[in-house]
Each structure stands twice: as structure tokens, then as C-alpha cells.
Amino acid sequence: MARRLLCAAAYRPSGGNPGPSFDEDAFTIAATALERTSPQRRAEPSPLSLALVGEVPASLDWAWPVLLGGPVHLQRSAASASGLSEALRTAAGGSEGPALVVATGSLLAKTTPGELPTVAVAFRFDGPKGPGSEVRLEPADGAGSLVEAAIGLFRAHSAGDPGSQWVGDWAELARTAAAESAESPAESSTDRVSQGAYVPRARYLENLPSRWRFTAERCGACAGVTFPARGKCRSCGRTEGLTAVDLPHDEALVVATTVIGAGGQPTEFDPQVERRGPYEVVLAELAPGARVTLQVTDSTPGEVRIGDRVDSRLRRLYAMDGEWRYGRKAVPRPGSGAGPR
């Protein structure tokens, strides 16, 4: 038995135009690439293998099971083409449950320790392997970087297996590689803390499924959907017979929008406004009866309008108690909202 490579995806941040946006880091960049390979939550949480190749802080190891919605067997490989190759071989050769590999790094050169990755490539394997889909997992000679190696591996492999799917844009990666910038996010400090709005870490952790996966609860008795999940149906008050459902995190319908100008922001967002100016916040409908308030990122304030659809991505939200807190932010859908109205 062996696993089959089902899907690969690249995520190349462009909110920093070019480069990562101010609210991205190695964790969110890797998470975004991973999410592209696995749009659906596993119905029955089974142990999942996840190999991290490259710079993702070990201090966030606890976060992967939450993001992926079940137990995770976490492995780390060296940030090198051979490390990636080893991780892919292990994922392909295993047999129990799905396996994910995510490699983060720079597209053009080797990433030095501590440097922010500018691209991530994720691979999703699940068994069993089909006939004739022999995976060649040796990196091509002359790959300049880890990620180049990852892309080369997928190209070589997918040529032999029409069933595996690439989610992403090869052409875009190639075209924009030349424009890559070493720009790093400006906000890397957790020093400037909130003037009072406080969310204890335990409450932050408690609500992460709703934050990161848009986990809601569907009531078995009245079919009402409650978001965020609180262990109680908002429609009928029942606390039993609730089923956790992850609502789609893309294509949410914008029902209200505002642009927060200078002075309108809570103090937690002072550094952001000082450096980057106004930002947009929307109220978006994930499903009937389930709405969420999201800051909009990678966009021009005012770009998103009522009636638009927005996607969402995991980003840094705010700093508290010396750590970054993460959650979803809205991003405009490609091709929507760009034209004049």
C-alpha cells in the first residue's frame, strides 16, 4: 500500500505588492497553501501526517491540529531540497490516512533561518496509489531553492498521473518570480499591546475552531445553524444533538461594510493605522443565519462592496500577552470588485 498524490498547491503572497502582507508570517503562509489542497474538512477525524519543510516556528506546533480539524502526526524536515524529497517519499510511502507536506521558502534562493518565506507549496496525499502513478521524488538538479525543487517535483510527477491536480497558477509563479522582493512585514512586534480589550489565552484557544475553520453547530432538532459554536442552539436553546459543521471559508456574501479612518479604530489597531492608513471591515454571511465580522486585507479600503463575495485567509489579527493571535480575514475574490460601479 502507498498513498497517491492527489493535489498540490502553491501560495505566493502578493498583499505586500510584491511580497507578504503585513499580517502574514511563516505560519499563515504555510496554512494558506495547505488550505488550498484540502478544501473539505475530514468527515471523521483520523490521524493525519503533516510534514513541515522550512521555516515554521515550533512554538506553533500546537496550532496545526486545530487548523486541520483533527489529530496530526507532525514531522519536520530540513529546509533543503533533500529534506523535501525525504518528506515527500515518507508521505507517499505511508498507508494510514492522508498525508500533507508543506514547504515554505523563497522562490529564488535558499531561505536563511528567521527569514520570512515568500512562497509555500503544499502536497496532499491519500491512498491507495493508482496503477502507473510511480512517483519520482528526487529533486531536479540545479534547483535554486526549496520551492523550485517542490514545483519541479510536482511537474515531474503529475506528468505521469493525470489524476493529480494542481491548484494554483504555474504561469503566475514563473512570471512574478523575477519581481520578488525581500520586503518583510513591518509589524513584527508584539510589544504594543491593547489598551484594555483583553481576550484570555484560554478563551482564544477555546474559540479557534470557529475562528480558523468557521466551525458552526447545526441543531438536530430545529436545523438552526449557530455561529460561532457555543455548545447551544441559538434558535431553540438545545444543548444536545448539535453537530459541528465547518462553513465554507470562501465566497461569503458581504452584507455590510465600513472603512475605518484615523481615530475610528480601537487602540489595538493604532500601529496598523499609523503605518498603513484606513482599513475596511465587512460583515459577511457564511451561510443563512451565520455571519462573521472580518477585516479585509490585501485590498484597497472601500474596494469591497455590499453584495460582493469575499474569500478568507488565515492572518495575524492582533498581539496579546506577547504572542500573535491568528484568525481569518476577508480578501476580495479575484475578478470581483475591481471594476468601476
Partner 1 sequence: MRHRAAIVGAGHTRFGALDEGPRALLRSAADAAFVSVDRGVDRSRVDAAFLATLGFGGWQIGNSAAVLGEEAGVSGIPTTRIENACASGGFALRAAVDAVGSGASELALVAGVEKMTDVPNARRRYWLGVSGDTEWERLAGLTFAGVYGLIASRYLSEHHVGPEALAAVAVKNHANGALNPNAHFRKPVRLDQVAAAPRVADPLGLYDCCPVSDGAAALLVVPAEEARHYTDTPVFVEGLGAGSDSLAVQERAHLTRFSASRRAAEQAFRSAGCDRSSVSFLEVHDCFTIAELLALEDLGFAPDGEAGRMTLAGETARNGRLPVNPDGGLKAKGHPIGTTGVAQAYEAFCQLRGTAGARQVPGARRALTHNVGGAGATAAVTIFGVG
Question: Which chain residues interact with partner 1 by CB under 8 A?
Answer: 195-199, 203, 207, 227-228, 234, 255-270, 278-279, 281-283, 289, 291-295, 302, 306, 317-318, 325, 327
Q: Quick one: residue 212, left, alpha or beta (phi over 0 = left, psi -120 to 50 = alpha)? A: alpha
Minimum Å distance from CB 300 to partner 1?
13
75 vs 258 by CB, closer to partner 1: 258
What is the chain's length?
Answer: 341
Nearest-angstrom CA–CA distance, 125 and 100? 6
Burial string for 130-168 (b: 16+ CB within 10 Å, else e) reads: eeebebebebeeebebbbbbbbbbbeebbeebeebeebb
Give dist(CA 152, CA 84) in Å, integer: 12
* Closer to partner 1 by Cβ: residue 179 or 256: 256
Q: What's the closest the beta carbon of residue 253 comes to partner 1, in angstroms?
A: 12
Taking the CB of residue 300, how many other CB atoms lie within 10 A of it?
A: 13
Q: Which helix (H) or strand (E) holds 32?
A: helix 26-37
Mapped onto helix, strand or coil, the DSSP state of residue 186 is coil
Nearest CB to partner 1, comparing residues 30 and 282: 282
- 232 phi and psi angles, rounded to 5 deg: -160, 135
Nearer Cβ to partner 1, position 110 or 192? 192
Residue with cell 520551492: 147
Query: Residue 105 and residue 109: Cα distance in Å, rounded?
Result: 8
Cβ 124 vs Cβ 7: under 8 Å: yes
CB 242 to partner 1: min, Å: 16
- Closest to partner 1 by CB, 130 vs 307, is 307
Which of 49/312 has CB closer to partner 1? 312
User: Smallest gap, in angstroms, from Cβ of residue 262 to partner 1?
Assistant: 7
C-beta closer to partner 1: residue 55 or 308: 308
CA distances from 235 to 15, 206, 227 (A): 39, 22, 11
User: Could you tell me the smallest distance in angstroms from the CB atom of residue 11 to partner 1?
Assistant: 23
- Report the largest interatomic distance among the alpha carbons of the chain, rounded to a whole angstrom: 62
CB of 41 to partner 1, least distance (A): 21
Q: Is 279 left (phi over 0), alpha (psi -120 to 50) or beta?
A: beta
Compute the least distance from the CB of residue 195 to partner 1, in Å.
Answer: 4
Q: How far apart are CA 115 and CA 311, in angstroms?
A: 27
| Nearest distance, CB of residue 307 and partner 1, angstroms | 8
Cell of 277: 492608513
Least separation, in Å, of the C-beta of 229 and partner 1?
12
Residue with smaller CB distance to partner 1, 165 or 258: 258
> Is 125 or 227 the residue whose CB approaches partner 1 more closely?
227
